[in-house]
């Protein structure tokens, strides 16, 4: 699958050369594999004759991305675009994939299925100067949970 600059997705049925996937945008854009994108490193352009394999995800990026390292913002934007495009063409993403018996079992028993959430990891170096004292959280039933620090500032 090839993700274009405008957010459209093209599904590959057979191996295709990178220059064919670019069409007329060969001078202003390049193709790179999603597996080869690294945070803090510039994207690597695939060769014109290099074959794009079905089942793999590829991005069409502007030539300016060759000269600068990819930031976290760039990586997140690509992930959001790819997720939206994949869901619009009916390809299940990892967060939307469920087993049928799991879904039916939860609905039949009337219980909500517990889902997980992903939050960004913030590493704070040095002394916890911005942290408030330890606070114990309690639930409605009165059981105490582990103490956690509440951070007022997280520098990145």
Mind listing the pLDDT tens digit for each residue in 21-59?
Answer: 887 777 788 889 888 888 888 888 888 888 888 888 888
- Residue 120 pLDDT > 80: no
20, 32, 41, 72, 117 from 123: Cα distances, Å = 43, 30, 21, 15, 19
Considering only residues 51 and 137, tell me which one the structure prediction assigns the higher pLDDT. Answer: 51
The yes-or-no verdict on residue 127 having pLDDT over 50 is: no
Residue 150 is predicted with a pLDDT of 58
Going from N- to C-terminal start, the domains of the chain cover 2-88
- Cα–Cα distance between 38 and 11 in angstroms, integer? 23
Q: Return mean pLDDT, the chain.
A: 70
Query: What are the tens digits of pLDDT across the range 138-148?
Result: 445 555 555 55
Sign of the Cα pseudo-torsion (99, 103, 109, 113, in order): positive
Is the model's pLDDT at 101 over the cut of 60?
no
């Amino acid at each position: 699958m090839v993700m274009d600059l405008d957010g459209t997705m093209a599904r590959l049925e057979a191996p295709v050369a990178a220059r064919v996937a670019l069409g007329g945008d060969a001078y202003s854009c390049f193709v790179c594999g999603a597996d080869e994108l690294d945070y803090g490193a510039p994207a690597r352009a695939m060769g014109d004759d290099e074959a794009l394999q079905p089942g793999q995800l590829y991005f069409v990026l502007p030539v300016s991305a060759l000269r600068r390292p990819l930031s976290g913002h760039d990586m997140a934007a690509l992930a959001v675009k790819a997720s939206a495009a994949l869901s619009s063409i009916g390809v299940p993403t990892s967060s939307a994939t469920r087993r049928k018996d799991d879904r039916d079992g939860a609905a039949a028993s009337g219980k909500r299925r517990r889902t997980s959430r992903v939050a960004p990891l913030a590493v704070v170096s040095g002394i916890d100067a911005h942290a408030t004292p330890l606070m114990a959280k309690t639930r409605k039933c009165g059981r105490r949970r582990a103490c956690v620090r509440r951070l007022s500032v997280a520098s990145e």
